[in-house]
Structures are given as C-alpha cells and as structure tokens.
C-alpha cells in the first residue's frame, strides 16, 4: 500500500473521522507516474548526453548588412594579403632573389574622404606573419589606427585601401623613385605579359562553425591578370556579416561578432601610357579594397 503514495494522480478525499485530509493512490496511477517520471528522466539524460557530446546545435543567425548608415570594418594586419605571381604559384619575390634584380615595386595607400576633405596616407608593406598568408605581403595599419574601412552613404564618408603594383622603372605622381637594381623595361614587360602572371589577393573572412562551435577564419582568393600595356584597376567591395549565437545548456549565453564575408569585384582597364600622360598614374595593377 505504501508504494501507492508515489501516484502523482492521487485524489484528495476527506475522512469523516477526525476530519483529516489524506491522499488515496491507485495502482494504475502509480504505474502511470513511474512511467512518466522514467520517461522524463531518460529524456533529460539523453539531452544531457547530447549536450556534452556536442550533439545540440546552438541557435545562430547570420545576416548580411546593407545600410546607408555608417558601416565599419576593423583594419587588421591580416585583412588583406597580396603578391605578384610571374607564373602559377611562383611569387616575384622568389624570382627577384634568384636573379638578384627587382621587377616590381608595391606602394600602398590608405585613402579617406568625407564631405570636407580627402587624405592619402602611405602604408608600410611587410611580409605577412599570419600562417595562412605565408609568402604574401601584408599592410601595416599602425599609422591609421584611429580609422576603419568605412562607408557611410548618408554622410558621404568612405575609406579605401589601395595597393599599386609598378614596374621597377616606372615613375609617376606616386612612384617618384627608382631602385638601383632594376631589371630592364623589356624584362619587366615580359614578366607582366607572362601567360599566368598577375596579382594574387587573399581576403580575410570569418564565420561561425556550428560543428566546432568556434569562429573559423578562411581566406578568399582572387587573381587579377596583368598585361604590360594596361593599367588594371580592380575594386573589391567588402560585404560585412553579423552573426549572433545563443548557446549553453541551463543558462544560454549570447554572443555576437561581425566580419567581412564577401568581396565583390569590379574591374576597369585603362591604357597605361594614356593614364600616365593624362592622370599621372600608371601602375600595372591597382587593387582597391573598400566597404561596399
């Protein structure tokens, strides 16, 4: 009889004697109760197991953002990597070291404008240290540490990273000096005209990996072919993504991060000699990265 007190469905009734309130269970009620408690505990243990073996997907949401308000992308040293390749997977640095002469010179600028003024700040170029960018050049943003890659359509503010790839002997408004150990112009032109020659770009992206439940960094690859007679202007517009994540078992924590996720490319091609004469700028390739 005492087991019947485990019946969750026991009904109340009044004994006439003494007016005491007691509960009366039934065997059916008791079995039903054991079944329900058993099922609930098993399900709880199952969920707990799933949680600890990473079987429960966290709740996450990704959103690409287009707005007229200000959008900023943080300038990190590993945001953009680049190198000139004279053949498939062969960097110009390798050839320059081999031949002991220079073919290409890179100049990088940070360009900022708003309604009142614009400004060009030259950025230092260094060999990337990020393990994903070994053999590539990166940009040092320490001179522009109070800036971001920014776009505000409403306030007419924009900034841009610009990388110019010049032949060693070129001279224009921006490239005003010639290194001592340049190759000849015909050797340089032959390199720029190589069938697989051009500039390889790597662009930082990060996204949330549901399986590992971590932010995962990947690089987008892009390649711009060169031809000696042309000035190729490639503009990459970064698209930013906002990810919010809710995870945790008993207590859910919420986190949020933003990262560039996509880089849309627009190419323009000018005659190099004409650009030099008319605009005073004549690199082989100009890469511009903005926040579109």
**Is residue 115 a contact point for ligand NAG (CB under 6 A)?**
no
69 vs 216 by CB, closer to ligand NAG:
216
Which of 212, 250, 251, 256: binder of ligand NAG (CB under 6 A)? 212
23 vs 214 by CB, closer to ligand NAG:
214
SS (H, E, C) 177-198: CCCCCECCHHHHHHHHCCCCCE
**Is residue 100 a contact point for ligand NAG (CB under 6 A)?**
no
Max CA pair span of the chain: 117
CA distance 259 to 205: 6
**Is residue 113 a contact point for ligand NAG (CB under 6 A)?**
no
196 vs 216 by CB, closer to ligand NAG:
216
**Is residue 211 a contact point for ligand NAG (CB under 6 A)?**
yes
**Is residue 146 a contact point for ligand NAG (CB under 6 A)?**
yes
Residue with tokens 């986190």: 255
Sign of torsion over alpha carbons 52, 54, 55, 56: positive
148 and 70 Cβ atoms separated by less than 8 Å: no
Which of 53, 89, 115, 177: binder of ligand NAG (CB under 6 A)? 89
**Is residue 111 a contact point for ligand NAG (CB under 6 A)?**
no
Query: What 8-state DSSP symbol labels residue 55?
Result: -
By DSSP bridging, strand 104-113 and strand 11-14 are: unpaired
Neighbours of 20 (CB within 10 A): 8
20 vs 212 by CB, closer to ligand NAG:
212
114 and 155 Cβ atoms separated by less than 8 Å: yes
Which of 147, 219, 225, 270: binder of ligand NAG (CB under 6 A)? 147
Q: Least separation, in Å, of the C-beta of 268 and ligand NAG?
A: 28
| Residues with Cβ within 8 Å of residue 16, at least 6 apart in sequence | none
| Residues with Cβ within 8 Å of residue 262, at least 6 apart in sequence | 64, 205, 220, 238, 239, 241
30 vs 95 by CB, closer to ligand NAG:
95
Residue 98: what are its φ and ψ, rounded to 5°? -65, -50
Q: Least separation, in Å, of the C-beta of 189 and ligand NAG?
A: 25
**Is residue 209 a contact point for ligand NAG (CB under 6 A)?**
yes
199 vs 286 by CB, closer to ligand NAG:
199
Count of residues of this chain found to bind ligand NAG when the rule CB under 6 A is applied: 7
87 vs 172 by CB, closer to ligand NAG:
87
**Is residue 60 a contact point for ligand NAG (CB under 6 A)?**
no
Q: Where does this chain touch ligand NAG (CB under 6 A) — which range of 100-108, 190-198, 207-215, 259-267? A: 207-215
Q: Interaction with ligand NAG in 219-278: which residues (CB under 6 A)?
A: none
> According to DSSP H, which parts of 53-197 are helical?
92-99, 185-192
Query: What 8-state DSSP symbol labels residue 2?
Result: G
24 vs 214 by CB, closer to ligand NAG:
214
**Is residue 177 a contact point for ligand NAG (CB under 6 A)?**
no
33 and 7 Cβ atoms separated by less than 8 Å: yes
CA distance 75 to 111: 13
Q: Which residues bind ligand NAG (CB under 6 A)?
A: 89, 146-147, 209, 211-212, 216
């Amino acid at each position: 009889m005492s087991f019947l007190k485990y019946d969750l469905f026991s009904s109340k009734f009044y004994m006439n004697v003494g007016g005491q309130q007691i509960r009366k269970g039934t065997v059916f009620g008791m079995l039903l109760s054991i079944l329900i408690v058993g099922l609930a505990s098993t399900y709880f243990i199952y969920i707990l197991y799933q949680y600890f073996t990473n079987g429960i997907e966290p709740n996450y949401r990704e959103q690409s953002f287009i707005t007229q308000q200000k959008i900023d992308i943080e300038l990190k040293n590993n945001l953009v990597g680049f190198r000139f390749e004279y053949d498939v997977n062969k960097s110009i640095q390798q050839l320059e070291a081999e031949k002991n002469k220079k073919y290409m010179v890179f100049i990088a600028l940070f360009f900022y404008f708003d309604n009142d003024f614009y400004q060009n700040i030259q950025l230092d170029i260094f060999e990337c240290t990020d393990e994903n960018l070994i053999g590539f050049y990166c940009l040092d943003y320490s001179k522009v540490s109070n800036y971001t890659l920014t776009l505000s359509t409403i306030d007419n503010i924009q900034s841009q990273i610009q990388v110019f790839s010049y032949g060693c002997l070129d001279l224009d408004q921006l490239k005003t000096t010639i290194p001592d150990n340049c190759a000849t112009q015909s050797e340089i032109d032959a390199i720029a005209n190589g069938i697989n020659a051009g500039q390889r770009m790597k662009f930082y992206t990060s996204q949330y990996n549901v399986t590992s439940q971590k932010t995962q960094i990947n690089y987008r690859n892009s390649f711009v072919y060169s031809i000696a007679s042309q000035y190729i202007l490639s503009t990459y517009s970064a698209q930013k993504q906002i990810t919010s994540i809710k995870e945790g078992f008993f207590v859910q924590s919420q986190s949020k991060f933003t990262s560039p996720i996509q880089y849309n490319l627009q190419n323009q091609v000018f005659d190099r000699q004409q650009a030099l004469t008319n605009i005073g700028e004549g690199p082989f390739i100009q890469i511009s990265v903005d926040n579109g």
